[in-house]
Amino acid sequence: MARLVMKFGGTSVANIERIRNVARHVKREVDAGHQVAVVVSAMAGKTNELVGWCREAAALHDAREYDAVVASGEQVTAGLLAIVLQDMGIWARSWQGWQIPILTDGAHGAARIIGVDGSRIIQHFEERNEVAVVTGFQGIHQPTNRITTLGRGGSDTSAVALAAAIHADRCDIYTDVDGVYTTDPRIVPQARRLDRVSFEEMLEMASLGAKVLQVRSVELAMTHNVKTFVRSSFDDPADPKPGTLICDEEDIVEQQIVTGIAFSKDEAQITLRRVADKPGVAAAIFVPLAEANINVDMIIQVVSDDTTTTDITFTVPAADYERARTILEKAREEIGFATLQGATDVVKVSAIGVGMRSHAGVAARAFKALAEKGINIRAITTSEIKFSVLIDAAYTELAVRTLHSLYGLDKA
């Protein structure tokens, strides 16, 4: 007997028939003798609808009441799934985040989990063999006793945090794909499903554009060593595919040099020309951006021939591009730049793999291959297990296919 957490996203619970399909997946695990907690998202499209209602009610609305409204989507799904399970003869009950409780900080709309008390769910496992159907995406800020929500993708985080709290043997994240692929199959038809991916690789993939899992959920899984499977809810519940296991690097016997290629279109480039090359200039640029919660990624500094000025190029999320420009223009006198140039038609393409640690020249091969395809690299950033290049958006598919083939990811 094992203890499992099963998480189902919005497309998996989009209507009653799909909820019945989810229930059949749950029944399979219950019939196998496992103790099961299920974490559910709102039905597909419902959260967007609720957000729209809040904005229609008032352009500037109370974030606490916003959370009270948008958290209701998961409550509906949890109740419906519990009803369907009960109709199948399975003892089940729904739990809202505050009933467990899932404790968070007070950052409404983007709260972070600070603790989960899984004791009551474990008690119900032991005494009643009851399936717990838990609302994802939400918790409670105990000092104010207010409902909070965790931001987009927060149900993944809820599931992993709950798995850690109840000491689950594994956490199965069910979605509309049957695992983690070497890259987006819509761009590279030869992309392959990976049997296993390390926590570190998945964290990089998630942060660099792969949409399979939310970044925070992978961080929690790595911190608490929660073995996590990505599986498809659209598989036959009686004969599901194994999916992809996300686990500790030590649990992967054979490592490839490069595991996957990710890309992010949510990028914008900013270049400050002829900035005075003196101490304090970098702080004058990046501190105001940090204070505005604008994340800066790639940074390149090029000193001019006279060594008195420099050009600084960096990237920010596309959604923050105009805000970043406004902040920098206001600080023009303090920074002392001559001109500000920007571009939003750029894409970040990344190669990820723990095998890079022990192999030299991995990135150099990519630079050569991209050059041979006529793809200009605007910026480069590297870490121990990944490198990223910023290129013109028009070359996205060509770059992804080139790198996918270069590192042999097309081959079974």
Supply the pLDDT for residue 231. Answer: 95
Look at the block and give the residue holding tokens 């590279």.
Answer: 188
Instruction: Tell me the pLDDT of the chain averaged across its residues.
Output: 93
How confident is the model over 356-368, as pLDDT tens digits? Answer: 887 888 999 999 9
Domain ranges for the chain, please list them.
Answer: 3-249, 261-406
Q: What is the pTM of this model?
A: 0.85
Look at the block and give the residue holding tokens 């929660």.
Answer: 226
Question: Which region among 15-19, 136-140, 185-189, 357-361 has the lowest average model confidence (pLDDT)?
Answer: 357-361
The token duo for 212 is 């399979």
Are 255 and 199 in contact, with CB atoms under 8 Å apart?
A: no
Question: Residue 189 and residue 193: Cα distance in Å, rounded?
Answer: 11
Nearest partner of 377 among 313, 294, 285, judged by Cα = 313
- Residues annotated within the binding site for ATP are 7-10, 175-176, 181, 186, 211-212
How confident is the model over 209-262, as pLDDT tens digits? Answer: 777 888 899 999 999 999 999 999 999 999 999 899 999 888 886 677 899 999
Give the count of beta carbons closer than 10 Å to the beta carbon of residue 338. Answer: 12
Identical fold, 3-249 and 261-406: no
Specify the DSSP element, H or E, that contains 92: strand 92-95
State which amino acid sits at residue 97.
Answer: G
Supply the pLDDT for residue 355. Answer: 85
CATH fold, domain 261-406, is: VC0802-like (3.30.2130)
Supply the pLDDT for residue 412. Answer: 60
- Which residues lie closer than 8 Å to 210 by C-beta, 6 or more apart? 180, 260, 262
Supply the pLDDT for residue 254. Answer: 67
Q: How confident is the model at residue 300 (pLDDT cuts 50, 70, 90)?
A: confident
Question: Residue 101 and residue 95: Cα distance in Å, rounded?
Answer: 9
The token duo for 227 is 């073995």
Question: Residue 57 and residue 41: Cα distance in Å, rounded?
Answer: 24
Are 36 and 6 in contact, with CB atoms under 8 Å apart?
A: yes
Confidence check: pLDDT of 152 > 90: no
Supply the pLDDT for residue 81. Answer: 98
3-state helix, strand, coil in the chain (%, to 5): 40, 25, 35
- Return the HEC string of 99-147: HCCEEECCCCCCCCEEEECCHHHHHHHHHHCCEEEEECCEEEECCCCEE
How confident is the model over 182-204, as pLDDT tens digits? Answer: 999 999 999 999 999 999 999 99
Question: Residue 77 and residue 9: Cα distance in Å, rounded?
Answer: 10
Nearest partner of 77 among 25, 16, 5, judged by Cα = 16
Quick check: helix, strand or coil at residue 361? coil
- Residues annotated within the binding site are 7-10, 47, 74, 175-176, 181, 186, 211-212
CATH 3.40.1160.10 fits 3-249, yes or no: yes
- Residues annotated within the binding site for substrate are 47, 74
Which residues of 317-368 form beta strands (DSSP E)?
Answer: 339-352
Question: Residue 240 and residue 376: Cα distance in Å, rounded?
Answer: 43
Question: Residue 134 and residue 124: Cα distance in Å, rounded?
Answer: 13
What whole-number percentage of the chain has pLDDT above 70?
98
